[in-house]
Amino acid sequence: MLPGIGRKGILAMNEFELISRLTQSLPGNKSLVVGAGDDCAVLDLGLPDRLLLFKTDAVVEGIHFSADTQPEKIGHKALARCLSDIAAMGGAPTTALITLALPRKFDPAFVEKIYSGLNALARRYDVAIAGGETTVNPERMLISVALLGTVPRGKCILRSGALAGDALFVTGELGGSLAGRHLEFEPRLSEAQWLAEHFSLHAMIDLSDGLAGDLRHIMRASRVGAELLATAIPISRTAKLASKAETSTKTPLLAALTDGEDFELLFTVASRDAVPLLDAWKQKFPKEKLKCIGKIVPGETLTIRDQQGVRNLAAHGYAHFT
Amino acid sequence: MLPGIGRKGILAMNEFELISRLTQSLPGNKSLVVGAGDDCAVLDLGLPDRLLLFKTDAVVEGIHFSADTQPEKIGHKALARCLSDIAAMGGAPTTALITLALPRKFDPAFVEKIYSGLNALARRYDVAIAGGETTVNPERMLISVALLGTVPRGKCILRSGALAGDALFVTGELGGSLAGRHLEFEPRLSEAQWLAEHFSLHAMIDLSDGLAGDLRHIMRASRVGAELLATAIPISRTAKLASKAETSTKTPLLAALTDGEDFELLFTVASRDAVPLLDAWKQKFPKEKLKCIGKIVPGETLTIRDQQGVRNLAAHGYAHFT
């Protein structure tokens, strides 16, 4: 596990304030449907049946990967993170540009392997790599991916649509991703597109900061609260083992709530859709987990219910800003 | 002037080879019209009347600006470089995402001023800033801009369309940009859109590496040669003064050929269009310079004609890779 990995910034309080101030005064225009603050920006450029999704995401050596990470996995992760954001809108990716900032001395074979990981993932989802740019960053490697996608009109899932009474779902298992999964995860594109097509999802986000942190993004955007059911939260075997072996100071539940970099889907649907959705999911994705982990409630508080009752949840997950 | 500024990399020969190898094996898909190797990627997403343009470009502290550069100018330059690439395709910009990689300690007021320069330029061209990402780059600031634009179908100007016999034009004055203009230049969007609308441009590029280097990009893409007329090349006053004051070791002509970061337009049209184009330009843009500086010829050689006759031009301009 890398120290600091998953943290997108150090995030002194004034940095949060800064981002908030910056995003308030950004210029818009008539084609901008959703700007800063969701998984992707949403644009209406006049395509009859679709909206455009636009996203950038960067990985930095020593922060999101280490100097000894396998290069194919660096490339995979750099693109997969962006693909996961397209998934979280219910969209399909189309084209990426890669900005590669390299120290003046580098190993060309290493860079080729980064691209081979990146290209393999792109081919799997029919994403064109349309070029990009190479520049100098003397002290460390930085890879920024800009990704374009589309989503059918009326099927774009934002963070802001959750309603009190909604059932809250999460795919996969949470926690312990930084032990390895964060470099290998498969973005949930197929699942998200299927969900968006067949059910009326109210809100969705991909888990990058940890369940507790990312659920708060949905709560803030939707102006609602949420109640988690502790026993329902799917905890990864890695997180359980780390806790048992005392390689992590977190309980397995806390790891699942706050480790970050899970890149699973967190979404809400009307409670009446919960059972039909679970049934249909089991038919469609028999090997993939999907759990109902709680509900959306009025207010603005995040609580967790366990054997002792209901208490406020203070654990935030990693700080995050877009 | 910054040491190394304008150089996008140090570009050992193996780096050129690497980029060439990387771009050969990039995945495409059915929406990709033009991939790596032009000013922008070109996509056909099914808009009835337009194609999409997609570009990323990064500026790095100590490479493209210095720690004491005015922050508003850093923001201006970061976006203006991308806008210039959209201009070089004959397109109009629509939406940008900003990736800001910052040291862990930074001055929020400085970052706000970067955005104020960037936002002011965006508003002037009705470009939405749709968010982006903030991440950590411990040693220096890096700003990557991803920009989306559109171009009318049939009006997109590539590097690859130059034909032997074409007249070669350049806007503005060249050389000496690194003394200050590179931080303040106005991207030639209005001029490029007007040119693309009213004339059949065969090829166009924006000058980032210097006239000699960028003309070679057109030559390579179009499989042609070119002959420059030394006395016709517009040399900036800054370049002339630098040579006179011996602050530059280059002759003014060499500065105009190789300084880089001019962000002017270099384009070709059929020779029969040259005079009508110049006449119409003078009416439309009476204050902006446009010069015919030579012609496209068969072959693959770049020559320059002066009082002594015609000779091969060895000066390359800054190395460049996209």
Closest residue on chain A to B139 (Cα): A139
User: Tokens standing for A20?
Assistant: 């908030």
What is the rounded CA–CA span in Å between residue B239 and residue B251?
A: 8
Minimal Cβ distance to A26: which of B7, B129, B321: B129
Alpha helix (H) ranges present in A125-251? 189-198, 211-222, 237-244
Residues of chain A with C-beta less than 8 angstroms from the C-beta of B28: 128
Of A129, A135, A170, the C-alpha closest to A148 is A129
Tell if the CB–CB gap between A36 and B111 is shorter than 8 Å: no
What is the model's pLDDT at position A5?
36
Is B36 in Cβ contact with A131 (below 8 Å)? yes
Q: What is the average pLDDT across A255-280?
A: 97
A102-111, A186-195, B136-145: range with lowest mean pLDDT:
A102-111
The full 3-state SS of chain B, as one line of letters, equals CCCCCCCCCCCCHHHHHHHHHHHHCCCCCCCEEECCCCCCEEECCCCCCEEEEEEEEEEEECCCECCCCCHHHHHHHHHHHHHHHHHCCCCEEEEEEEEEEECCCCCHHHHHHHHHHHHHHHHHCCCEEEEEEEEECCCCCEEEEEEEEEEECCCCCCCCCCCCCCEEEEECCECCHHHCHHHCCCCCHHHHHHHHHHCCCCEEEECCCCHHHHHHHHHHHHCCEEEEEHHHCCECHHHHHHHHCCCCCCCHHHHHHHCCCCCCEEEEECHHHHHHHHHHHHHHCCCCCEEEEEEEECCCCEEEEECCEEEECCCCCCCCCC
b/e code A68-79 from CB counts within 10 Å (16+ = b): ebebbbbbbbbb
Average of per-residue pLDDT across A59-69: 95
Q: Which two tokens stand for residue B245?
A: 């004051």
Q: What is the pLDDT of residues A214-267, one digit of tens each?
A: 999 999 999 999 999 999 999 999 999 998 888 778 899 999 999 999 999 999
**B108-124 helix and A13-24 helix, angle to the nearest 10 degrees:** 10
- Chain B residues in contact with A55 (beta carbon < 8 A): 97
Distance CA B204, CA B156 (A): 10
- In the block, which residue shows the tokens 């001019």? B262
A104–B133 C-beta distance less than 8 A? no
**B92-102 vs B128-136, strand pairing mode:** parallel
Q: What is the pLDDT of residue B4?
A: 34
Domain A29-152 class in CATH: alpha beta
Q: Which residues lie closer than 8 Å to B286 by C-beta, 6 or more apart?
A: none
Cβ within 8 Å, pair A60-B111: no
Extract the tokens encoding B72: 């508003």
Amino acid at site B169: F
- By DSSP bridging, strand A302-306 and strand A225-229 are parallel
pLDDT (tens digit, 9 = 90+) per residue, A194-212?
Answer: 999 999 999 999 999 999 9
Q: Which pLDDT value is given to residue A27?
A: 96
* Complex ipTM > 0.90: yes
d(CA A301, CA A218) in angstroms, rounded, equals 12
Q: Which pLDDT score, from 0 to 100, does residue A6 have? A: 36
The yes-or-no answer to whether B31-152 and B167-312 have a common fold is no
A contacts of B56 (beta carbons < 8 Å): 56, 97-99, 132-133, 144, 146
What's the Cα-to-Cα distance from B20 to each of B23, B29, B218, rounded to whole Å? 5, 20, 17
Distance CA A243, CA A3 (A): 17
Q: How many CB pairs under 8 A join A and B?
A: 248
Interface touch A52/B41, C-beta < 8 Å: no
Q: Tell me how far apart the alpha carbons of residues A32 and A45 are, in angstroms, rounded to a whole number.
A: 9
CA closest to A109 among chain B residues = B18
Q: Per DSSP, which regions of A48-182 are E strands?
A: 50-60, 92-102, 128-136, 142-152, 167-171
What is d(CA B319, CA A287) in angstroms, rounded to the nearest whole number?
51
Whole-angstrom Cα distance, residue A66 to residue A139?
Answer: 13
Q: Contact, B171 vs B188, CB < 8 A?
A: yes
B128 contacts in chain A (CB < 8 Å): 26-29, 31-32, 35, 43
- The CATH homologous superfamily of the domain defined by B167-312: PurM-like C-terminal domain (3.90.650.10)
Kindly list the averaged pLDDT for each block of 10 residues, start to end, along chain B of length 322: 36 62 90 93 96 97 95 98 98 97 90 96 98 92 98 96 98 95 97 97 96 96 97 96 85 93 98 98 98 97 92 60 28
Amino acid (one-letter) located at A46: G
Higher-pLDDT residue of A48, A249: A48
Count of other CB atoms within 10 angstroms of residue B306: 12
From chain B, the residues in CB contact with A127 under 8 A are 27, 29
pLDDT at A315: 55
CATH 3.30.1330.10 fits B31-152, yes or no: yes
- The nearest CA of chain B is from the CA of A295 a distance in Å of 30
CB contact under 8 A, A108 and B15: yes
Q: Which of B22, B133, B114 is nearest to B65 (CA)?
A: B114
**Cβ–Cβ below 8 Å for A130 and B26:** yes
Locate the domains of chain A by residue range: 29-152, 167-312
Query: Is 70 exceeded by the pLDDT of residue A1?
Result: no
CA angle A115, A119, A125 (to 5 degrees): 155
Nearest-by-CA chain B residue for A137 = B60
Q: What are the Cα distances from residue A240, in Å, to A213, A254, A306, B199?
A: 20, 10, 18, 68
The CB density around residue A136, as the number of other CB atoms within 10 Å, is: 21
Mark yes or no for CB contact B112/A37 under 8 Å. no
pLDDT at A49 over 60: yes
Q: B225-229 and B302-306: which strand pairing? A: parallel
Mean pLDDT of A12-26: 73
Cβ within 8 Å, pair B56-A132:
yes
Dist. CA A269–CA A119, nearest whole Å = 35
Angle between helices B189-198 and B71-87 (to 10 degrees): 10
Q: What angle do CA B105, B106, B109 make, to 5 degrees?
A: 150
Write phi, then psi, for A177 (nearest 5 degrees): -60, -35
Asked if A243 and A252 touch (Cβ cutoff 8 Å), the reply is: yes
pLDDT: which is higher, A289 or A245: A289
Q: What does pTM read for this prediction?
A: 0.93
Q: In what helix (H) or strand (E) does residue A283 lie, and over which residues does it extend? A: helix A274-284
Closest residue to A58, CB basis, from B99, B104, B321: B99
Nearest-by-Cβ selection for B47 from A23, A47, A119:
A47
Please name the residue of chain B whose CA is at the shortest distance from the CA of residue A11: B104
